[in-house]
Amino acid sequence: MTSRTAFRNPALAESILRDIRRMIRRPWTLMEVCGGQTHALIRHGLDQLLPAPIEIVHGPGCPVCVTPVGTIDRALALAARSDVIFCTFGDMLRVPGSRTDLQRIKALGGDVRILYSPLDALKIARANPSREVIFFGIGFETTAPAHAMAIHQASRESLANFSMLTSLVRVPPALKALLAEGDQRVQAILAAGHVCSVMGTEEYPAIAEQFRVPIVVTGFEPVDLLEGIRLAVRQREAGIFQVENAYGRAVTAEGNREAQARIFEVFEEADREWRGIGVIPNSGFRIRERYRGYDADARFAHDIVAMPATTACRSGEVLRGRLKPDECEAFGSICTPQTPLGATMVSGEGACAAYFHAGKLLKLGTPHQANAIHVSNASH
């Protein structure tokens, strides 16, 4: 197999960067919408290598970060129940709700289990018939097929003690909502590669056309990211606004039809609240009526009222690409991964956490390549 190291080849990265430097004439602001890409950009210091006129902003690409506080509080209340085994992805453990988090619930006796796959929650349910097993189903479209299969399978096996608390969000409606904001500066989008592996690219041409932004489907290795950026810049320099697939080895225009079928068999589109952004129409999935028995939200009584989120946290602005994490006054002072004000500082995919761990506080990093780029002062 063409090894992954081929997509981490520094020489290849450098030749892509050279091409970008050669073609760029004006400053451009690009947005990536995937926590995995945020993390990869920061992890490899790619932002340091790009020519100064290119600005990368980070969108709401972290499903943990955009889960509303009310949902987190609901999860915490369920996890604290003595009859429940609460299963979750590791990301969620330290995300703050109004008053506490899963790690503290666990410390006080909640049976909280970290799992890699929702299928492992089914195993736990089979092995513990007298306990209620709840899986916290967070994710974008990439993860929705996994959650759909877990519910579908639970139904097939008539598992009486399994349910899912979902917080599933969809990228295209969120992109549209952000691009529709009046004063937004984003001029090109790097679309999340694995979301497109599942859903294909069919929803993007309309967005590209409506908002006149290139949308480049981008992978996650350093070479993938740089290539996505290069193609986006190339389009902008040429005045083109199309959907381009730079991750062809894992993405086709139609996506994974089997996965899509299962998603829509178990879920239906619904309006969804995004933490820090508000309600975006049709931007989420909810469990269909026929599978409502596996919806933890319907199955368990609501007995906690969420308190309003702390206003000191500006993660909403970060998630909309309006604020860089290191521009927030709380960054690194009152808000750190140990003492987070919001999910973006504690989730492994959150932009604030990525910036913190990259040492943005220290202003480390090699200076941007100065090279002889003459940047036009004309407005975009």
Partner 1 sequence: MCLAVPGRLIGRFESHGLQMGQFDFAGATREVCLEYLPDLEIGEYAVVHVGFAISKLDEASARQTLEELAQLGTASNPEHD
Partner 2 sequence: MSQTHHIDGWSCPVPLQDFPHIVMGHGGGGKLSADLFEHLIRPAFDNSILRERTDAAILPEISGRLAMSADSFVVRPLFFPGGSIGDLAVNGTINDLAMMGAIPKYLSVSFILEEGLPLASLARIVRDMAQTARKHNVSIVTGDTKVVERSRESGCLIQTTGLGSIPDGVDLSAKRIEEGDVVLLSGSIADHGIAILGQREGFQFESDIASDTAALSDLVHLLLKAAPVRMLRDPTRGGVAASLNEISVACGRGIEIRESDIRVKPAVRHVCEMLGLDPLTVANEGKLLAIVPAAHAGRALETLRSHPLGREAGCIGSVVAAHPGHVVERTVFGSTRLISLPAGDLLPRIC
Nearest to 344 by CA among 39, 115, 27, 66: 66
Provide the 8-state DSSP code for 99: S
Neighbours of 326 (CB within 10 A): 15
Q: Which of 162, 220, 285, 291 binds partner 1 (CB under 8 A)?
A: 220
Site for partner 1 in 74-103 (CB under 8 A): 89
**CB-hemisphere CA count at 13 Å for 8?**
10
Please choose, out of 151-159, 204-212, 274-282, 372-380, the segment that lies near partner 1 by the rule CB under 8 A.
151-159
Rounded CA Rg of the chain = 21
Is 349:62 a contact under the CB 8 Å cutoff? yes
Question: Does 110 interact with partner 1 (rule: CB under 8 A)?
Answer: no
Rounded-to-integer distance, Cα 375 and Cα 250, Å: 35
Question: Does 228 interact with partner 1 (rule: CB under 8 A)?
Answer: no
Nearest to 310 by CA among 349, 339, 290, 289: 339
Question: Does 160 interact with partner 1 (rule: CB under 8 A)?
Answer: no
Please choose, out of 44-52, 141-149, 273-281, 292-300, the segment that lies near partner 1 by the rule CB under 8 A.
141-149
* Residue 120 burial class via C-beta count within 10 angstroms: exposed 0-12, middle 13-18, buried 19 and up: middle
Longest dimension (CA), the chain: 69
Q: Which does 222 bind (CB under 5 to 8 A by kind): partner 2, partner 1, none?
A: partner 2
| Comparison of 113 and 288: residue with beta carbon closer to partner 2 | 113
Question: Does 42 interact with partner 2 (rule: CB under 8 A)?
Answer: yes
Is 275:315 a contact under the CB 8 Å cutoff? yes
Please choose, out of 71-79, 88-96, 265-273, 316-324, the segment that lies near partner 2 by the rule CB under 8 A.
88-96
Please choose, out of 60-68, 181-189, 208-216, 236-244, the segment that lies near partner 2 by the rule CB under 8 A.
60-68
Nearest to 268 by CA among 243, 290, 242, 294: 290
Minimum Å distance from CB 349 to partner 1?
8
Question: Does 140 interact with partner 2 (rule: CB under 8 A)?
Answer: yes
Question: Does 149 interact with partner 1 (rule: CB under 8 A)?
Answer: yes
Please choose, out of 12-20, 73-81, 101-109, 293-301, the segment that lies near partner 1 by the rule CB under 8 A.
12-20
Rounded-to-integer distance, Cα 346 and Cα 293, Å: 32
Minimum Å distance from CB 230 to partner 1?
8
Is 63:167 a contact under the CB 8 Å cutoff? yes
Nearest to 204 by CA among 185, 219, 220, 188: 188
Q: Which residues lie across from 55 on neighbouring strands? A: 29
Question: Does 138 interact with partner 2 (rule: CB under 8 A)?
Answer: yes
CA-based end-to-end distance of the chain: 42
Question: Does 1 interact with partner 1 (rule: CB under 8 A)?
Answer: yes
Site for partner 1 in 261-290 (CB under 8 A): 262
Question: What are the angstrom distances between the C-alpha of 90 and each of 335, 348, 353?
Answer: 21, 9, 15
Question: Does 12 interact with partner 1 (rule: CB under 8 A)?
Answer: yes
| Comparison of 19 and 55: residue with beta carbon closer to partner 1 | 19
Site for partner 2 in 320-339 (CB under 8 A): 337-338
Is 236:211 a contact under the CB 8 Å cutoff? no
3-state SS assignment for residue 348: coil
- Site residues for partner 2 per CB under 8 A: 8, 10, 13-14, 35-36, 42-46, 48-49, 62-64, 87, 89-91, 93-94, 103, 113-117, 120, 124, 138-140, 142-143, 222, 337-338, 347-349, 356-359, 362, 364-366
- Site residues for partner 1 per CB under 8 A: 1-2, 4, 6-7, 12, 15-16, 18-19, 22-23, 34-37, 61-63, 89, 116-120, 122, 139-143, 145-146, 149, 153, 156-157, 192-195, 197-198, 220, 223, 227, 246, 248-251, 256, 258-259, 262, 349
